[in-house]
Amino acid sequence: MPFPNRYAFFKGRIVPIKEAQVSIMTHSLHYGTGCFAGLRAYWNKEEEQLFIFRIKDHFCRFINSTRLLYMNIPYTVEQLIGFTLDLLRHEGFRQDAYIRPLAFKSSPVIGVRLHDLEEEVVIFSIPFGRYVQNEEGARATFSSWRRVDDNVIPPRGKITGSYANSALIKTDAYLKGFDEAIVLNQNGHVSEGSAENIFIVRDGVAYTPPVYDNILEGINRRTHIQLLRDELGVETVERPLDRTEVLLADEVFFCGTGVQIAVVIEVDHYSIGAGRMGPVTGQLRQLFFDIVRGKSPKYRHWCTPVYRLESG
């Protein structure tokens, strides 16, 4: 199958994707000693422009993830932004795309540790659409797997090894006939989806698990809290959520860079609200998709254009 992309940032420069190869002895392949970020770029057909959403925020979090793994990568946030723009200009995408920066322990050695190892940073991008196919009406289940704890593998860092937890959760839900899963933490409170933050709406108020309930400190999560408050007049309360609060919610949705905003209409065969997209989620989705494509002047500062404008 041909690569959907042509280039990668690898060993400090843009190279053909087929040249971006690593050894089978690479430390992170064996022990999950890497971390990543996920960004989206959105195509605006009217402007013929590709916009990357909240790129600086993503790379700031990426740098924080590297720190959790005792990495000292040789690039600043500004340099990583520059490499990403250069990469996308090489690709020339005229459609929505996903961007994957990855930092990993690259030494070809055996032995579980984080110290005294070489590190590498790579970035690639691919055309990308929906993460959850039924994003206007997903069916979810409570997973029998629990979310990793901050004292086990810190979930606020996007650490590659911890995503084995997400993979177990996602596949278990899929094999049972569901689109997604809702995960509880070790205290039995709602944490996240398999790889998404979660919100519920009850009686005109939005609720989402707090950062201390083993969640990723999501950039889209932060975005939606602001948009709910400032644009829709909906307060968001960050507090622990019980399982049955989800079942009795008027609306439930997942959010994240990959999933964007996915509406949950059913959980473990319980209908959520009216069993269809609710008014708060519907308004939020419309607002969000306008913003990420650069169509909202108020939030245009969140969108970084990839292509240089031709001077007249």
Positions annotated as catalytic residues are 158
What would the two tokens of residue 62 be?
């990426």
Q: How far apart are CA 23 and CA 218, in angstroms?
A: 32
How far, in Å, CA of 14 to CA of 179, rounded?
Answer: 37
What is the full DSSP assignment across 246-309?
Answer: HHT-SEEEEEETTTEEEEEEEETTEEPTTSS--HHHHHHHHHHHHHHTT--GGGGGGEEE-SPP
* Spatial separation of the C-alpha atoms in residues 299 and 243, rounded to whole Å: 34
> Is the distance from CB of 191 to CB of 221 less than 8 angstroms?
no
Compute the distance between CA of residue 169 and CA of residue 172 in angstroms, rounded to an integer: 5
Number of other CB atoms surrounding residue 111 within 10 Å: 10
Backbone angles phi, psi at 235, to 5 degrees: -75, 140
> Is residue 58 within 8 Å of residue 125, measured between CB atoms?
no
Tokens of 292: 């990420």
- The encoded tokens of residue 3 equal 């690569």
Count Cβ neighbours within 10 Å for each residue of 120-144 and write b for 16 or more, e otherwise: bbbbbbeebeebbeebbbbbbbbbe
Structure token digits, residue 162: 């911890």
